[in-house]
Amino acid sequence: MKLTPQQEDRGAGVLLGQAIGDALGVPYEFSTPPIGEPEMLGGGLGNYAPGEWSDDTQMAACIARVSGWGADLTSTTALDEIAAGFEEWYAAGPGDVGNQTRAVLTAARGLTGSPSERLHAASRAHASSTSHSAGNGALMRTGIVGLTRIDDPGATSAAARSVAELTHPDPLAVDSCVLWSEAVRIAVLEGRFDLGQGLHLLEADRQEQWAGWIEAAAGANPSRFSPNGFTVAALQCAWAATTSTDDGSGSPLHVQRALSAAIQAGNDTDTVAAIAGALLGARYGASGLPARWRRRVHGWPGLRSSDLVGVAVTTARGCVDNDAWPAIPHMEYRDAGAWTPMAVPHPYDDGVLLGTWRDFRRAEELGVDAVVSLCRVGIRDVPAPGIAPEDHITVWLVDSDDPTANAYLDFVLDDTADAIEALRAEGERVLVHCAAAEQRTPSVAVRYSARRGVNREDAVQAIATMPSTRGSGLLWEVASSA
C-alpha cells in the first residue's frame, strides 16, 4: 500500500516510540518510580547503559528483522526466522529476560524440530503447566506487528496471534497482542487512538470481557493497574497512561506526558512504557518524538533510532528498495545546490555551521563534533565519519509547501532548535545541514536564533541574506512567524 507522507511518518514512529518508552522505563523497573519526568539513566535489572533499550525492544528487533522484508508473519518461514532470532538473542545472554520467556526459551533448547516447532512445543507445555501463563512478554514486542499488513485488520490480527503464540499461547496474551497491534495499525493509518476497534477480531465469547477491561482503563489513573506483569494489567496501564494524559489538542507533547504517566505508575515500567510508546509513536510519528530522546536510544543488536525508523518504514511499505531511502546505504543528492560547499557560521553563534549536502560529506574536514541532518540520509551515512552516534541527530522534516507533509512543523522546528542548543551546551561544534540549504536549514537557523536571545525579525533578516536561502515557502513562513 502506498502511504501518505504523514502515514509514513507515523509508521516510522512505532519502533522508535517503543524504544524510547523502554529506555526511559529501564531505570525504574520494579523499583521506585520517578517523581518528575523519567530520564534515560540506564541501570535497571539488566544493568543497561543510559539510553539502552531492554528485552522488550530487543525481541521486537527480532520480529522487525523479518517484517522489514515484507514477510507474511503467519508463514512457517517467517516464524522460523523470528523464533531463530529469539533463540539467538537468548543464547547471547541478555541482561534481563521475563520469567515466562526465559522458561520457554530454556525448555526449547532441549527439543528437536525447526525453531518455531521448538518454541511452540515449549510454550504450549509451559502454558499447560501453570495458571499464570498470560504474562506481558508478548504484548511488549507486538507494536511492529501492527505495521506488517497495514491495510488489512484480519491479516494483522493473524500475524499478531502467530507471533504471540511462539512464547505466549495463552488466549489472553494473544488477545492483548491482537488488540494492541490493531490499535497501532489504526493509529498509523488514521492518526487516532482506538483500542476498542479491534474487539471484533477476538473470539466472540471474550469480546465483552475485553470491552469492560478497556473501558475501565480509559482515562483512569494508570497506577490502578500496577502490578502489571499480567498482560491485561499491562495493556490497561498503557491505555490508562495514554488516555488519561490526552488533552485532545493533537499536540505531540502528549507523548511526553503519557510516557511519564506510564512510568510513574511503577512496577514493570520499561515494558508498560514500551507498549504505550509503540502506540504513541504510531499516533504522533517519528516527527512527534523529541530529539533529546531519539539521539540517546540504542540497543541490541547494535541499532539506533535511524535503524528503527528504517525497518519500521520498510515493514509498513511491505517491501524493501535497496536503491532508495530508507534502505539505501549512502544517500545521493544530485542537484547543483546540494553540491555547493557553504558551511557558513550561524549569524548569532559561530559554533553552529549551516551547510549543504556537500558540507555533510566533508563534516570531518570541517572539524565539527556533531551533525544535525534535516534531509534524508542513507543507513551507512549515520553516524557521519568522526561523529559519535549520539551526536548525529536525524530529523524528520519534509521540504514541501503541502500543509499535510509535516504534521507538527512548529514542534519539529522548536525541538530541533532545542537539540542544537543542547549540543552547544555540551561544548560541541555543530553542522546543521539539509540538501541545498534553501529551506530547512535556514528555517531551523531562524528558530535557533531565539535560543540566542535574538529577536525574530533580526534573525529572519540576517538568515535571509545567506545566498542559498529561498526566503519563501511554508517552512520559512512558519519558522519566521512569531
Residue 54 contacts Mg ion per CB under 5 A? yes
Contact region for Mg ion (CB under 5 A) — 150-158, 267-275, 316-324, 381-389?
A: 267-275
Residue with Cβ nearer Mg ion (97 or 384) = 97
Residue 315 contacts Mg ion per CB under 5 A? no
Query: What is the closest distance, in whole angstroms, from the C-beta atom of residue 163 to Mg ion in the complex?
Result: 17
Residue 268 contacts Mg ion per CB under 5 A? no
Residue 56 contacts Mg ion per CB under 5 A? yes
What residue number has its CB nearest to Mg ion?
Answer: 54
Instruction: Annotate each residue in 171-200 with x if it binds Mg ion (CB under 5 A) or - if it does not, as one string.
Output: ------------------------------
* Cα separation, 374 vs 399, whole angstroms: 9
Residue with Cβ nearer Mg ion (18 or 468) = 18
Residue 399 contacts Mg ion per CB under 5 A? no
Contact region for Mg ion (CB under 5 A) — 76-84, 161-169, 266-274, 453-461?
A: 266-274
List 8, 9, 52, 55, residue binding Mg ion (CB under 5 A): 55
Contact region for Mg ion (CB under 5 A) — 52-60, 302-310, 337-345, 350-358?
A: 52-60
Residue with Cβ nearer Mg ion (267 or 480) = 267
Contact region for Mg ion (CB under 5 A) — 269-277, 302-310, 362-370, 456-464?
A: 269-277
Residue with Cβ nearer Mg ion (273 or 460) = 273
Residue with Cβ nearer Mg ion (22 or 381) = 22
Residue 270 contacts Mg ion per CB under 5 A? yes
Contact region for Mg ion (CB under 5 A) — 100-108, 264-272, 380-388, 441-449?
A: 264-272
Residue with Cβ nearer Mg ion (163 or 328) = 163
Retrieve residue 72's grid coordinates.
507474511
Q: Which residue has the cell 510513574?
A: 264
Q: Which of 299, 322, 301 is nearest to 310 (CA)?
A: 322
Residues in contact with Mg ion by the rule CB under 5 A: 54-56, 270
